[in-house]
């Protein structure tokens, strides 16, 4: 309704070309729609300046919304970035129990990565026939024959079958 205030002012105004001036002595005429539309095409001449109170209220509203946004994002950033590192800590048991595990698996491939500088070998065994799909071992050996014997002993396989399945990578 406030947006139509300038239209009401136009109709009631003495400056309107549609109405006769009060001091002319002529009777007032009904507003002519065509002449009224001519004035509507240039509404910037008819608009009044906004009140200082309205500008202050608008400025206050913008300031409050901006301040709330600034404080809210600052609080959210503090909550997210201020969290401690939630990395899982290992659980150490005072008296760990030993379990002997026997599985029937089919060995598909054996990959051995030998690190000559560190004198260690990392062995990955790909298996089928169970939900267990991969076994990883680390040995303090870099000699091929010693490594093959250690893997054969761990998997209870003959060293000849280990030689057929193993692939070496040197670092």
71 found inside a domain: no
pTM metric for this prediction: 0.44
For 71-88, the DSSP string reads HHHHHHHHHHHTPPP-PP
Structure tokens at 109: 């491939």
Count of domains for the chain: 2
139 found inside a domain: yes
Q: Quick one: pLDDT at residue 132?
A: 87
**Whole-angstrom Cα distance, residue 158 to residue 163?**
9
Residue range of the domain that includes 7 = 1-21+29-48
101 found inside a domain: no
83 found inside a domain: no
Length of the chain: 171
3-state helix, strand and coil shares in percent for the chain, rounded to the nearest 5: 45, 20, 40
Model confidence over 49-103: pLDDT tens digits? 667 888 888 899 999 999 999 999 988 888 887 776 667 778 887 887 888 877 7
Share of the chain above pLDDT 90, in %: 36
Model confidence over 90-125: pLDDT tens digits? 888 788 788 887 778 899 999 999 999 999 999 999
93 found inside a domain: no
43 found inside a domain: yes
158 found inside a domain: yes
Helix (H) or strand (E) holding 122: strand 120-128
């Amino acid at each position: 309704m406030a947006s139509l205030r300038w239209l009401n002012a136009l109709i009631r105004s003495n400056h309107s070309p549609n109405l006769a001036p009060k001091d002319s002595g002529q009777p007032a005429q009904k507003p002519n729609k065509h002449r009224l539309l001519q004035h509507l095409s240039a509404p910037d001449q008819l608009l009044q300046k906004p009140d200082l109170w309205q500008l202050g209220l608008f400025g206050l509203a913008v300031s409050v919304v901006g301040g709330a946004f600034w404080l809210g994002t600052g609080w959210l950033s503090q909550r997210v970035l201020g969290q401690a590192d939630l990395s899982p800590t290992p659980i150490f048991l005072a008296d760990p129990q030993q379990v002997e595990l026997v599985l029937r698996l089919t060995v598909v491939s054996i990959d051995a990565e030998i690190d000559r500088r560190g004198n260690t070998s990392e062995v990955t065994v790909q298996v089928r026939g169970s939900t267990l799909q991969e076994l990883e071992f680390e040995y303090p050996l870099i000699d091929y024959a010693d490594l093959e014997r250690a893997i054969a002993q761990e998997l209870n396989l003959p060293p000849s079958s280990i030689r057929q399945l193993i692939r070496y990578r040197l670092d």
